[in-house]
A and B are shown apart, each in its own frame.
Chain A
Amino acid sequence: MKKIIFIDDDEINNFLLENKFNTHLPDVKAEFFDSAEAGLNYLSENGEAPPQFIFLDIKMPAMNGFDFLKEYHRRMYHESFPTRIFMLSSSVKASDREKSRSFSSVEGFISKPLEIKELQEIMEKTFK
């Protein structure tokens, strides 16, 4: 089973994605977390079966996406997990992209909305 997690405080965005998965990718298990803390908790409880993908928002209250990444690296998940991380944001700031690139675990930066076609391409590359 392919497992993808989304970390985003935007509840509508999560609803939209869930709807897309149900319609177009019913064989993928997508889980949604509305805060970086909740995402980290999930990872520490599911260290045996980490997700293949994390899609991560940047601007969130309390811990933001970059705080999440720092903690992710501090816990050495970037070495122990095969997980691929993509930033998924509506930020238009160039420095947000650059900052994302500075984390070795981040593979790409996607501007919202995430299109199913884009997601399929990313998944095909991984599971080929």
Chain B
Amino acid sequence: MENEDLTILLIEDQEADILLFTEILADTSYSAHKLKTAGRMSQALDILEEQRIDIVVLDLHLPDSRGLETFIKITESYPEIPAIIYTVTDDEDIALDAIRKGADDYLIKGPYLDTVQVEKSIRKAVETSKSRTVMQQTMQDLKRTNEYLEHFAYVASHDLNAPLINLEELQKIVDLEGKPVEFNARIFHKMSKSIGRLRATLNSLFRVLEVHQKLDDTLEDISLEEIMKKVMQDLSADITALEAVVQHDFTAASRVKFPPEHLYEVLKQLVANALRYHRKNVRPEIMVRSSLHESDYICVEVEDNGIGFGGGPQQHRIFSLFNRPHKSSSGHGIGLYTVKTLVENQNGLVSARNKEHEPGSVFQVLFNKFPKNSQT
């Protein structure tokens, strides 16, 4: 049987009970040398704070905590850690209460406690906890996908509906006999414009679907520098045409865990976006910089000196599908939506702000150091 490297925390103040558990554990497939013990609640909470514990085995009667409350104190702070109650026969009622409140199992101290019981109990608790984590992640994914789909359906229906209504109305007023040629020519011109809009919207939708289909690509530990090089190559025509200066600095954090193609897409969209919204007659200056953000994220910021985007109410809309910040914008409102989708899919975050004292905006991507696929 495989030897599983679990760190177990035994919360127990009686020497004899600690000894009993340690001896039995030594005979199971779980290694006893990774067992931690705590005689008091305060000590247990310190250990849980400091290090990763896979499973807690606890006596309910401690010098500084008594009864069901002992279990509740642990489980409120660490709901994700499986817990097994370690108790005496007299307290079986309280142990049952703890089970009702979410404890995974209980073990009765004494001569009848054996290897099989302990092995089974730990195994079951760990497995339940694993599947709980997977289920939570799946639920979260489903919820997000559902929200995307709903939003997608809404936006698609609106953006297809509007030009189609126009076409229907235009068709009603075409009158080849009764109206002058110029009038009819105008109508035909507007009809072809509406058809163009329908086609553009559909093409955009196809692109969004393509991105969604690519969503579960495999994670790799990739160099930002390497991807950035590719982005620069592919945007070189635009960069040259605008005489833009695009620089980058990845010294603070050089690698992220992300599907490589997605990282390429994210960086490309952000740089392309920064180029697209440049100010007239101002040479675009774009800086891409990485940094460490709190303990869980690697931050990549793309800063430009362009026209920025309307502040206030628009701020939260800038990443939505088919949103165009400016009436004259040439974009279709998919680029930033794609960035948001790809980053959030790996439990990351995106945001944008206008610079305070000068023109330009900063787009920030927080890459999760522990992306979704690496956790399960």
Binding site for B on A (CB under 8 A): 9-10, 12-13, 15-16, 19, 34-35, 59, 61-64, 67, 70, 90-93, 112-113
B29 within 8 A of A: no
On whether the beta carbons of A12 and B168 are closer than 8 Å, the reply is no
Number of interface residues of B (CB under 8 A): 24
- CB-CB nearest in chain B for A16: B169
Which residue, of B161, B193, B329, has the highest number of chain A Cβ atoms within 10 A? Answer: B161
Q: If the complex has contacts A12-B190, A59-B158, are A90 and B165 also in contact, measured as CB distance less than 8 A?
A: yes
On whether the beta carbons of B165 and A92 are closer than 8 Å, the reply is no
B136 within 8 A of A: no
Partner of B166, one of A16, A64, A91, A92: A16
**Can you list 20 A-B pairs with a CB-CB distance of less than 8 A?**
A10-B162, A12-B163, A12-B166, A12-B190, A16-B166, A19-B173, A61-B324, A61-B326, A61-B327, A61-B329, A62-B314, A62-B326, A63-B313, A67-B313, A90-B162, A92-B154, A92-B157, A93-B158, A112-B165, A113-B165
Partner of B310, one of A62, A70, A90, A91: A62
Contacts of A92 in B (CB 8 A): 154, 157-158, 161
On whether the beta carbons of A9 and B169 are closer than 8 Å, the reply is no
Which residue, of A10, A13, A16, A67, has the highest number of chain B Cβ atoms within 10 A? Answer: A16
B194 within 8 A of A: yes
Contacts of B162 in A (CB 8 A): 10, 13, 90, 112
- CB-CB nearest in chain A for B183: A19
Task: Report the bound CA distance from A118 to B28 in whole Å.
Answer: 80
B170 within 8 A of A: yes
Contacts of A19 in B (CB 8 A): 173
Interface residues of B in 144-187 (CB under 8 A from A): 154, 157-158, 161-163, 165-166, 168-170, 173
Contacts of B324 in A (CB 8 A): 61
Partner of B190, one of A15, A93, A112: A15
CB distance from A28 to the nearest CB of B (A): 18
Partner of B173, one of A16, A62, A91: A16
Contacts of B157 in A (CB 8 A): 92
Task: Report the bound CA distance from A112 to B157 in whole Å.
Answer: 13
Which residue, of B313, B326, B329, has the highest number of chain A Cβ atoms within 10 A? Answer: B313
Task: Report the bound CA distance from A49 to B325 in whole Å.
Answer: 32
Please encode chain B, from 320 to 334, with 1 for each CB lying within 8 Å of some chain A CB and 0 for all others. Answer: 000111110100000
- Counted as pairs of residues, one from A and one from B, with CB atoms less than 8 Å apart, the total is 55
Contacts of A91 in B (CB 8 A): 154, 158
Further contacts, 13 of them, CB under 8 A, given A16-B170, A93-B158: A9-B327, A13-B165, A13-B166, A15-B190, A16-B166, A16-B173, A61-B323, A61-B324, A61-B329, A63-B313, A90-B161, A90-B162, A112-B162
Binding site for A on B (CB under 8 A): 154, 157-158, 161-163, 165-166, 168-170, 173, 190, 193-194, 310, 313-314, 323-327, 329
Contacts of B329 in A (CB 8 A): 61
Partner of A113, one of B168, B190, B313: B168
Task: Report the bound CA distance from A16 to B173 in whole Å.
Answer: 9
Q: Which 5 A-B pairs have the closest CB atoms?
A: A90-B162, A90-B161, A12-B166, A61-B324, A16-B169
Task: Report the bound CA distance from A63 to B314 in whole Å.
Answer: 7
Which residue, of B165, B170, B194, has the highest number of chain A Cβ atoms within 10 A? Answer: B165
Task: Report the bound CA distance from A65 to B334 in whole Å.
Answer: 22
Task: Report the bound CA distance from A92 to B159 in whole Å.
Answer: 10
CB distance from A111 to the nearest CB of B (A): 9
Task: Report the bound CA distance from A112 to B169 in whole Å.
Answer: 10
Contacts of A15 in B (CB 8 A): 190
Contacts of B310 in A (CB 8 A): 62-63
- CB-CB nearest in chain A for B324: A61
CB distance from A45 to the nearest CB of B (A): 21
- CB-CB nearest in chain B for A89: B158
Contacts of A112 in B (CB 8 A): 161-162, 165
Task: Report the bound CA distance from A54 to B1 in whole Å.
Answer: 77
- CB-CB nearest in chain A for B163: A12
Partner of A12, one of B158, B161, B194: B194
- CB-CB nearest in chain A for B190: A12
